[in-house]
Amino acid sequence: DKTVSLRKDLSEMHEWITQAEEEYLERDFEYKTPEELQKAVEELKRAKEEALQKEVKVKLITDSVNNFIAKAPPAAHEALKKELHDLITNYQRLCSRLNGKCKTLEEVWACWRELLSYLDAENKWLNEMELKLKATENIQGGAEEISESLDSLESLMRHPEDNRNQIRELAQTLTDGGILDELINDKLEKFNTRWEEVQQEAVRRQKSLEQSIQSAQEIDKTLRLIQESILTIDKQLTAYLADRVDAAQVPQEAQ
Rg, the chain, Cα only: 41
pLDDT at 253: 59
Average the pLDDT over each of 2-6, 75-79, 218-222 and give the range with the smallest value: 75-79
Confidence band, pLDDT 50/70/90 cuts, at residue 251: low
Using alpha carbons, select from 198, 202, 178 the residue that is nearest to residue 190. Answer: 198
- The CA-based angle 90-96-101, given to 5 degrees, is 125
DSSP 155-219: HHHT--SHHHHHHHHHHHHHHHTTSSHHHHHHHHHHHHHHHHHHHHHHHHHHHHHHHHHHHHHHH
Average pLDDT, the chain: 89
In CATH terms, the fold of domain 2-211 is: Methane Monooxygenase Hydroxylase; Chain G, domain 1 (1.20.58)
Sign of CA dihedral 213, 218, 219, 220: positive
b/e burial code for range 184-196 (CB count within 10 A of at least 16 → b): beebbeebeeebe
Confidence band, pLDDT 50/70/90 cuts, at residue 215: confident
Say if CB 198 and CB 153 are below 8 A apart.
Answer: no
Distances (CA, A) of 101 to 43, 98, 107, 122: 11, 5, 10, 32
**Mean pLDDT: which of 105-119, 141-155, 221-235 is highest?**
105-119
| Distance between CA atoms of residues 64 and 6, nearest Å | 8
Q: First CA to last CA across the chain, in angstroms?
A: 137
pLDDT at 125: 96
| Distance between CA atoms of residues 75 and 94, nearest Å | 30
User: Which residue did the predictor score with more confidence, 53 or 1?
Assistant: 53
pTM listed for this prediction:
0.77
DSSP 135-148: HTTT--S-HHHHHH
pLDDT at 252: 64
Confidence band, pLDDT 50/70/90 cuts, at residue 189: very high
DSSP 72: S
pLDDT mean over 8-16: 93
pLDDT per position as a tens digit, 122-171: 999 999 999 999 998 888 778 888 899 999 999 999 998 899 999 999 99
pLDDT per position as a tens digit, 14-49: 999 999 999 888 876 778 899 999 999 999 999 999
Q: Percent of the chain at pLDDT above 90?
A: 62
